[in-house]
Amino acid sequence: MRIWHSKGGKVCRVWVSAALAAGRLWREEFIMRLVRRVAGRRALLAGLAVVFPVGMAMLAGVMPVQAQPAQQPTAGAGQVVTVYSYRQPFLIRPVLEAFTRRTGIKVRTAFARKGLLERLRAEGENTPADVVITADFARLWALKKAGLLRPVESEVLRKAVPAHLRDEEGQWFGLTKRARIIVAHKDRVKDGEIARYADLAAPHMKGRVCIRSGKHPYNVALFASMIAHDGRDATRDFLKGLKANLARKPQGNDRAQARAIHEGVCDVALLNSYYLGKMATNEKKPEQKEWYGSLKVIFPEAQGRGTHVNISGGAVVKHAKNPQAGQKLLEFMVSEEAQRMYAALNHEYPVRPGVQPSELVRSWGELREDRLPLTEIARRSREAARLVDEVGLDH
């Protein structure tokens, strides 16, 4: 559509091209020439909108099937929810963008590897944060103990997140799951040679085990779950046996253990399952694909209590300025759409029952998870950390 509008009462020319669609393909329906004296362009456009609603819809960038009333703004339009995240932005951005498209609520994020608890405590009532997202439940537990979260009453969240993966008082909720698996060299470790966590401390594994620091939250959570299941004394004995079987002093991150297996430093290691996906799809560091190719996956305790799982999770901040939007975000993140997207992006397991993990994750085998409530694990985390120090696992 082209419009020339002359000033001072001169003649204006208006050429309008509009496409009308009524279940048919786009086509040019008419071209109109209108010559009229006008007081201003706004009056002309208003007149055209009345006479030719479809053509003016084209001007606005709308392509209706038929003339319709003006569209109402999205319910959340103009709202903003602010997220403090321990998860890197690229891991959650597509989900947040989908939330905005669905609701009209914009999302602002602040990422930090550490220190969000201290930041929220220092900001107090002045915090801009509405929601916090973490990469493990230990941080959520710490935020709750610090009094920085608020309870959320949501039937949507209660139905979507199993009870063992959320706070019993509704202050935090799991969003995705990852399993604390054992990986082994596909040739040097025989099938059935290791099937339980306890096998890492067995005599036949002497000098064959690698782990990251025993004080890392991923390992502390596993050891705390063992205290809950087997008791403190049995867990201490396990940690002593594990230390005796180490091929080297605990070091590095989870992927460093996979590399050590590939390079022959050790034969087995503890690993969070999603690191397998990160290595298998790493185009920037293709050597990690080779590490991945050296491994086979073992789900410990598959024939017993089930494999220990951890979560990424979310919560609404105590002094949130927009807690309703924060709750809506958490509810969206456990929807079927977001669960498929979020879990696939991070090579994790959905928390929502009935939503399948990605094809790559399914290729590792069936996960039978330990359904011990994460709150029970959290209550024993300090005791587990003390046991790590007591046996000198990291030294």
* Mean pLDDT of the region 226-250: 98
Q: In this predicted model, which residue has the larger pLDDT, 97 or 28?
A: 97
pLDDT over 70 for what percent of the chain?
Answer: 81
Count of residues making up the chain: 395
Query: What confidence score (pLDDT) does residue 77 get?
Result: 59
What is the Cα–Cα distance from 12 to 41, expressed in whole angstroms?
A: 9
Q: Say if residue 238 is in the same domain as residue 202.
A: yes
Establish if 243 belongs to a structural domain.
yes
Specify the pairing of strand 28-36 against strand 80-85: unpaired
151-195 tens-digit pLDDT: 999 999 999 999 999 999 999 999 999 999 999 999 999 999 999
Residue 72 lies in a domain: no
Instruction: Classify residue 69: in a domain, yes or no.
Output: no
Instruction: For residue 97, give its domain range.
Output: 80-177+312-359
Q: Is residue 331 part of a domain?
A: yes
State the Cα angle at 346 between 154 and 308, rounded to 5°. Answer: 75
The pLDDT, as a whole number, for residue 78 is 72
| Residues 387, 268 share a domain | yes
212 with 271, same domain: the answer is: yes
Cβ atoms 96, 123 nearer than 8 A:
no
- In tens, the pLDDT along 130-152 reads 999 999 999 999 999 999 999 99
Q: Is 366 part of a structural domain of the chain?
A: no
How sure is the predictor about 91, in pLDDT bands with cuts at 50, 70 and 90?
Answer: confident
List the structure tokens of 374: 């994460």
Going by their DSSP bridges, the two strands 2-4 and 131-134 should be labelled as unpaired
Q: What is the model's pLDDT at position 33?
A: 36
pLDDT at 195: 97
Cα dist. 326→104, 165, 307, 329 in Å? 13, 19, 32, 5
Q: Is residue 268 part of a domain?
A: yes
Q: Are residues 240 and 184 both part of a single domain?
A: yes
- Strands (E) across the chain are located at 2-4, 12-19, 28-36, 80-85, 106-111, 131-134, 173-185, 209-210, 268-272, 295-298, 309-316, 349-350
pLDDT > 90: percent of the chain = 77
Q: In this structure, are 219 and 282 located in the same domain?
A: yes
Same domain as 246, residue 213: yes
Q: Which pLDDT score is estimated for 90?
A: 84
The pLDDT confidence band at residue 89, using thresholds 50, 70 and 90, is confident
**Per-residue pLDDT tens digits for 355-382:** 999 999 999 999 999 999 999 999 999 9
The more confident residue out of 245 and 41 is: 245
Q: pTM score, two decimals?
A: 0.79
CATH at 294: 3.40.190.10
* pLDDT at residue number 75: 54
Residue 370 lies in a domain: no
Q: Which two tokens stand for residue 72?
A: 């109402």
Same domain, 383 and 296: yes
- Looking at the fold, whether 169 and 183 belong to one and the same domain comes out as no
The structural domain count of the chain equals 3
Residues 242 and 382 in one domain: yes
Contact at 8 Å (CB) between 371 and 219? no
| Pairwise CA distance, residues 389 & 360, whole Å | 37
Are 155 and 186 in the same domain?
no
- 3-class SS of residue 356: coil
Q: Given pLDDT bands bounded at 50, 70 and 90, which one contains residue 61?
A: very low
Mean predicted confidence (pLDDT) in 297-315: 97
20, 50: one domain: yes
Residue 116 is assigned to a structural domain of this protein: yes
Q: Are residues 54 and 120 in the same domain?
A: no
